[in-house]
Amino acid sequence: MTQKPYLHIPRPSARPGETPDFSYLELSDAGTVDRPSIDEKAKNIEYLSHDLVRVLDDDNHAKGPWNPSLDKDTLLEALRYMVMTRTFDNRMQKVQRHGKISFYMQSLGEEAISIGQGLALEPGDMLFPSYRNQGLFLLRGTGLVNLMCQCLSNTGDMCKGRQMPVMYHDKENNIFSISGNLATQYPQAVGWAMGSAIKGEKHISVSWVGDGSTAEADFHYALTFAAVYQAPVILNVVNNQWAISSFQGFAGGERRPFAARGLGLGMPGIRVDGNDLLAIYSVTRWAAERARSGHGPTLIEHVTYRGGAHSTSDDPTRYRPKDEWAAFPLGDPMNRLVQHLVALDYWSDEDQSALEDETKTMVDDAWKEAVSFGTMSDPPFLSTHLMFEDVFKEIPDHMENQRTELLELIGETS
Amino acid sequence: MSQMNMIQAINSAHDIMMERDPSVVVLGQDVGFFGGVFRCTDGLLEKYGEHRVIDAPIAEGGIVATAIGMGVNGLRPVAEIQFADYIYPGFDQIVSELARLRYRSGGDFFSPVTIRTPCGGGIRGGQTHSQSPEGIFAHISGIVTVMPSNPYDAKGLLISAIESDDPVVFFEPKRIYNGPFDGDPEKPGVPWSSHPMGEVPDDHYQVPLGKAAMVEEGNELTIICYGTIVHVAQAAARTTGVSAEIIDVRTLYPLDIDTIRKSVEKTGRCLVAHEATRFCGYGAELVATVQQECFWHLEAPIERVAGWDTPYPHAFEWKYFPGQKRLAAGIRKVMETA
């Protein structure tokens, strides 16, 4: 090589040992972004894809046109589920460290997204989650024990031991099966929404991917099909700044926000403070009403920060500054909601402590119940029979033969 | 009963299923207004409307993925991938999603998608319009892989596929859309009206998935094949004068092992043939199965005739395609041994 290479290799603003720097994030003040009508054409509301919709201001008050004016009960319900999500995550992270489950993924710092959006949607709306949306399951009533049993691959596991931890689903509550393959659920959600529109139904679908997964072809299929057919779908990009060790610039986030990805297709994008539950709720309602009334899809980018590791398999101190989350300008979503409730005089530090204790007890009790269905090391164990079921509706003969062969070999013929 | 070619038979299967089941929808590139580049969906848009016969963007991954989503939402999608050579962008959605959904969700979710796609060579399509990737799909756990060899089977199998709650990848050998082809490109084309399997019931009927067809009975040799090669094998066997039993597997997966076993136990000799490339091809599985099931009945090594292990070459099409000469040579080889 005789000449100086000039290929641009994106670099994060800080690596371990360097000072966190979020100056690349363009922020708007709370309450300053206009809220258009739900039928506004995408070309007239492009500002929504680069401004940042925020409701909670620095003094913990809700303000501006996107303030959803939620009542006290709803706010307290939101907080309750955010605390529940975080407590659940804490516990599962710990049991993974103790070797009780093989793997785990926390949603630390991103809880407001699942809870805020979940509250803004209707029960009949179909959710196609990513692996960091556990709050949706808690909110829709999947139940702590069921989630834990999935992580334990035990006799209570909804997946019958076939998926690694956190790949939940809940058919009854309209939450689709999580795939370990990234972004594949995104165009499926669009197909579901197309089905809803074909049938003339008002149910919408909603899906989530991370910033990193926007680079997948499936992301682009989803946007194209959603725009072409004006499918009643909300497509969310959870921009938590990091895809394992790759910062969001490696998915093309350096020059334009992810929310702007749909503009070329005429799909409106909204960039929202992903740590502001009120703003999240509000933009989701806007997008849901838009979809439900036949005005098509919306892309929402949630600007947030992945407070923990990608999963229990990586150590973030190896690739980003230890104190980066503390320097994140949009704070911690749970604390921000708590402070808002305190400012409204709905809540106190004592109430918060009591809630955290209460949820911790619930999680403790749930864990005790979950392990009674077995763990990877303790019975009861899943029947080996299950291994060969559900590949097809009926087991083909040759697979039945394989099952018999295995059961005989391991002495489980009874 | 009507005389139908494979295109008309496939079209009829769509028509009957869309008439019977309002949840059946069709999607794919050019399937709507134009009726498909091979005309398999001709007339469906006029009859069933644009919300059930949906022209799609050129994005095979998107077509498969949205079909999966529609299936989860209670529809019964039939997706067309315009050429099997273009199915690869949809491969991840087929393998990682469609094939795995029922299993990974503990049986709670499934999506009854049928994916139709024209495959195979003999039409001067070069490497991008001639491929036979069926073996790749037959290898995937959770997918039913089908390839009919005539109009009667095409209609009956497609109806079974659409009615199945399991995902089906349905390969249509396009060389024989309009008539059976014996492997000799110099001979004038023969229409399906001259073939007994071109006689197709107008109404609903099923050809069951997972069941092979005995195309010709014989007692000296079993030829296991499918698709276009069924017709080539019949012609080749005639030139050799060998009494060959010809089995059209029709469904590649799950495979009808019983029919194969009974035949090879009777004849003691076996030839496996397909258009697809040889190495790790579907024929390898057939050979392994016959070896395992019928070893003590075999009087000669099992022979395999397949496409050469090159990409499908435009200029050398008839040197690549396993025609009568290669099939006959394979037959003689099995017969000469021991």
Token pair for residue B2?
Answer: 């009507």
**Structural contact between residues B120 and B228, judged by C-beta atoms closer than 8 angstroms:** yes
Query: A188 and B66 in contact by Cβ < 8 A?
Result: yes
Provide the β-strand partners of residue B277.
B307
In Å, how far from its chain's centre is CA A414? 43
User: According to the model, what pLDDT value does residue A47 have?
Assistant: 98
List chain B domain ranges: 2-200, 213-333
Token pair 């834990």: residue: A148
Half-sphere exposure of B69 (CA within 13 A, CB side): 36
> Does A189 lie at the interface with B, CB-CB under 8 angstroms?
yes
Provide the β-strand partners of residue A109.
none
End-to-end CA distance of chain A: 69
DSSP B239-293: HHT--EEEEE-SEEES--HHHHHHHHHHH--EEEEEEEESTT-HHHHHHHHHHHH
Residues of B in contact with A196 (CB under 8 A): 73
User: According to the model, what pLDDT value does residue A1 have?
Assistant: 63
Axis-axis angle for helices A333-343, A111-120 (nearest 10): 60
**Structural contact between residues A33 and A54, judged by C-beta atoms closer than 8 angstroms:** yes
CA distances from B79 to B53, B90, B332 (A): 10, 11, 42
A18: distance to nearest CA of chain B, Å? Answer: 39
In the stretch 208-247 of chain A, residues with CB closer than 8 A to chain B read 217-218, 220-222, 224-225, 228
Q: Could you tell me the sign of the dihedral formed by the alpha carbons of B21, B22, B23, B27, in that order?
A: positive
Query: A177 and B101 in contact by Cβ < 8 A?
Result: yes
Query: Collapsing DSSP states into helix, strand and coil, what is residue A134?
Result: helix
Exposure pattern of B217-246 as b/e (b: 16+ CB <10 Å)? ebebbbbbbbbbbbbbbbbbbeebebebbb
Query: B73 and A195 in contact by Cβ < 8 A?
Result: yes
Query: Collapsing DSSP states into helix, strand and coil, what is residue A82?
Result: helix
Q: How many CB pairs under 8 A join A and B?
A: 144
Q: What is the mean pLDDT of residues B147-170?
A: 98
3-state secondary structure B17-47: HHHHCCCEEEEECCCCCCCCCCCCCCCHHHH
Separation between Cα atoms, residue A43 and residue A41, nearest integer Å: 5
A377: distance to nearest CA of chain B, Å? Answer: 21
Task: Record the pTM.
Answer: 0.98
Q: CA of A165: which chain B residue's CA is closest?
A: B104
> Does A184 lie at the interface with B, CB-CB under 8 angstroms?
yes
Residues of B in contact with A222 (CB under 8 A): 62, 65
User: According to the model, what pLDDT value does residue A414 have?
Assistant: 59
> Does A193 lie at the interface with B, CB-CB under 8 angstroms?
yes
Torsion of CA B216, B222, B224, B230, to 10 degrees: -40
> Does A171 lie at the interface with B, CB-CB under 8 angstroms?
yes
User: According to the model, what pLDDT value does residue A376 have?
Assistant: 86
Amino acid identity for residue A206 in this structure: V
**Structural contact between residues A168 and A175, judged by C-beta atoms closer than 8 angstroms:** yes
**Structural contact between residues A330 and A303, judged by C-beta atoms closer than 8 angstroms:** yes
Separation between Cα atoms, residue A61 and residue B292, nearest integer Å: 75
B104 → closest Cβ in A162, A195, A389? A162
Q: For the domain bounded by B213-333, which CATH number is listed?
A: 3.40.50.920
User: According to the model, what pLDDT value does residue A319 have?
Assistant: 97
Using only C-alpha atoms, what is the Rg of chain A? 22
Q: CA of A164: which chain B residue's CA is closest?
A: B104
User: According to the model, what pLDDT value does residue B134 have?
Assistant: 98
- Please name the residue ranges forming H helices in chain B: 6-20, 44-48, 60-72, 91-92, 101-104, 134-138, 151-163, 229-240, 257-267, 282-294, 317-320, 324-336
Q: Could you tell me the sign of the dihedral formed by the alpha carbons of A188, B85, B252, B197, in that order?
A: positive
A258: distance to nearest CA of chain B, Å? Answer: 20
Closest CA to A256 of A411, A50, A97, A98: A50
Query: A194 and B69 in contact by Cβ < 8 A?
Result: yes
Q: CA of A172: which chain B residue's CA is closest?
A: B108
Residues of A in contact with B65 (CB under 8 A): 184, 186-188, 190-191, 218, 221-222
B109 → closest Cβ in A162, A171, A222? A171
Mutate to test the interface with A, among B50, B103, B169 (most CBs of A within 10 A): B103
Exposure pattern of A242-281 as b/e (b: 16+ CB <10 Å)? bbeebbbbbbebeeebbbbbbbebebbbbbbbbbbbbbbb
Instruction: Give residue A269's region: left, alpha or beta (phi > 0; psi -120 to 50).
Output: beta
Residue range B85-131, pLDDT digits in tens: 999 999 999 999 999 999 999 999 999 999 999 999 999 999 999 99
**Structural contact between residues A48 and A271, judged by C-beta atoms closer than 8 angstroms:** yes
Query: B66 and A389 in contact by Cβ < 8 A?
Result: no
DSSP A298-328: EEEEEE----S-SSTT--GGGTS-TTHHHH-
User: According to the model, what pLDDT value does residue A198 have?
Assistant: 98
B92 → closest Cβ in A128, A184, A390? A184
Half-sphere exposure of B328 (CA within 13 A, CB side): 13
Separation between Cα atoms, residue B160 and residue B177, nearest integer Å: 19
Residues of A in contact with B97 (CB under 8 A): 179, 181, 184, 188
Token pair for residue A71?
Answer: 């009542």
- Per the prediction, chain B carries an average pLDDT of 97
CATH class of B2-200: alpha beta
Segments of chain A with pLDDT less than 50? none
What structural domains does chain A harbor? Answer: 42-379 (3.40.50.970), 383-414 (no CATH)
Q: CA of A400: which chain B residue's CA is closest?
A: B254
In this structure, the number of other CB atoms found within 10 A of the CB of residue A142 comes to 20
Token pair for residue A135?
Answer: 């709050």
**Structural contact between residues A130 and A209, judged by C-beta atoms closer than 8 angstroms:** yes
Separation between Cα atoms, residue A288 and residue A238, nearest integer Å: 17
> Does A195 lie at the interface with B, CB-CB under 8 angstroms?
yes
Q: From chain B, which residues contact A within 8 Å (Cβ)?
A: 25, 51-52, 56-57, 59, 61-62, 65-75, 89, 92-93, 96-97, 100-110, 141-142, 144, 164-166, 210, 254-255, 257
Q: CA of B144: which chain A residue's CA is closest?
A: A392
Q: CA of B22: which chain A residue's CA is closest?
A: A199
B79: distance to nearest CA of chain A, Å? Answer: 12
In Å, how far from its chain's centre is CA A351? 27
In the stretch 123-152 of chain A, residues with CB closer than 8 A to chain B read 126, 128
Query: A391 and B102 in contact by Cβ < 8 A?
Result: yes
Query: B106 and A158 in contact by Cβ < 8 A?
Result: yes
Query: B254 and A397 in contact by Cβ < 8 A?
Result: yes
Q: CA of A197: which chain B residue's CA is closest?
A: B51
DSSP 8-state assignment for residue B310:
S
Residues of A in contact with B86 (CB under 8 A): none
SS3 breakdown of chain B: % helix, strand, coil, rounded to 5?
40, 20, 40
Q: Could you tell me the sign of the dihedral formed by the alpha carbons of B9, B15, B17, B23, in that order?
A: positive
Residues of B in contact with A169 (CB under 8 A): 105, 108-109
Query: B57 and A225 in contact by Cβ < 8 A?
Result: yes
> Does A166 lie at the interface with B, CB-CB under 8 angstroms?
no
In the predicted structure, residue B338 carries a pLDDT above the cut 70: no
B129 has catalytic annotation: yes
Query: A221 and B74 in contact by Cβ < 8 A?
Result: no
Query: A391 and B107 in contact by Cβ < 8 A?
Result: no
In the predicted structure, residue B234 carries a pLDDT above the cut 90: yes
User: According to the model, what pLDDT value does residue B337 have?
Assistant: 79
User: According to the model, what pLDDT value does residue A2 have?
Assistant: 80
Instruction: Give residue B126's region: left, alpha or beta (phi > 0; psi -120 to 50).
Output: left
CA distances from B183 to B266, B278, B322 (A): 28, 18, 8
Residue range B20-32, pLDDT digits in tens: 999 999 999 999 9
Query: A158 and B93 in contact by Cβ < 8 A?
Result: no
In the stretch 355-414 of chain A, residues with CB closer than 8 A to chain B read 389-393, 396-399
